[in-house]
Structure 1
Amino acid sequence: MVEIFEECRKNLYTQVDVLGFEFEMGLTPQFIQELKEKGVSITLKYIPKDVFDKRAVEKGQVKFFDVAYLNTKEKINGKSITIELTDFVTHYTQDDIEELQQSMRAGSKVVIEDGQIIKVEKDKNGIITKTILTKDWHDWIDYWAIDFNYEDKKEIIKIKNESGETEERWTGNYLFENEWQSFRTKKNPTLEFTSIAYEYKKAGKYKVMVKVVDILGIDTSKIIEVHIK
């Protein structure tokens, strides 16, 4: 990302969209904001699976949506820690409301624009009303979970070497283990936004991963470094 920033500044570009199937979790809102304050506005956008659908491409149905971000607050007490989910920022846009308003007949449709879920209604006289259904960032969260010691479980795969023998190799990644979670159900749609107190067995530096799954089924993750004394 730093290389992109330097290239933009060298060529006097002030705005750039970066497309990717996934992004490293170190690209925090604070980091993106720092680059913006230095003169280059960088927007991260996910490449949707629709790009592989020829019909969707031909019909212009492929939508690139911005990467979501989550913020947390950590409270350490001795060797225990609690994690609070404090914010979820998204700018998903899947529909062009102006175009929809002109083309839709009498009726209603739910659309997503700049991180808001909006119900658009059009009556027989052509009068349009819009109602925002997402009143708060909490409304976007369907499920969230925490791995309190993320780098404790390496991702190991088995492959065959040149001799035809099977051997295990570390991919360089780690496995997410769900050690605490809060999710919505039909009987209880309310989420908890502060985790239980997790107790570490010994002092040291740990990496905690927080994973959020939104109401569209898209997951967003954040890694937090904590120092337990």
Structure 2
Amino acid sequence: MAGHSKWSQIKRKKGANDKKRSAMYSKHIRAIQAAVRSGGSGDPSGNLSLKNAIAAAKSDTVPVDNIENAIKRAVGAGEGAAEFKEVTYEGYGPGGTAILIEALTDNVNRTVADIRAVFNKRGGSLGTSGSVAWQFEKKGVILLTDTSEQVQETAIEHGAEDIQESEEGLAISTGPNDLYAVQDALIAAGFSIENAQVDMVPSNTVAVAGDDARKLLVLIDALEELDDVQNVYSNADLPDEE
């Protein structure tokens, strides 16, 4: 189900208009700069947070020049540069779905107020700390259109924990620290990867359809449009037509 959800996210992002794509790029740049400052290094080989941020940006087709410039600016930033705090929010959406939100903010009061307002307006509710986070686990997720046995064998040999096959292709799940070992092994073996990044994956999913599914998508879109929100995760299993 997590793989199905990731393929759906890729489709949505590829279909985003220029305004949404620009906002998405800005969020990735903020995440990269925050990772440089918190990790104390602009070298991704020694800064796992930065490596994850770069991988997520590349998966959403952020230009390499933008990524490199963001790292340079963060490395060169001295006192007075904006300090962003990583904050996680939890809530509930239509159909009894659990929603996990990752934010980067320089003003926690503003961010929580904005998120609460979206929940209230879009048929959800903001939960307390720990209310739904237990339903999600940090995992590396790799997507490929190739479903051959060779792909699966290579992934398993290098640390893959789970492989799910769908009409779109394969969704390979790894431990968060094993993502790049599996990814590099697949690339070295000549396989093309559609997407690879660390995500929060639900342990179980909730089937949501019809009016609840449409309301949930509107809620998620509204949350993702907030400047401080980096990622929105849900345990919903949505039909393709939604």
TM bucket (normalised to shorter chain) is: under 0.3
Report the structure, 1 or 2, having the larger strand content. 1
What TM-score do the two structures reach when normalised by structure 2? 0.26
Report the structure, 1 or 2, having the larger helix content. 2
Which of 1 and 2 has higher RCO (CA within 8 Å, sep 6+)? 2
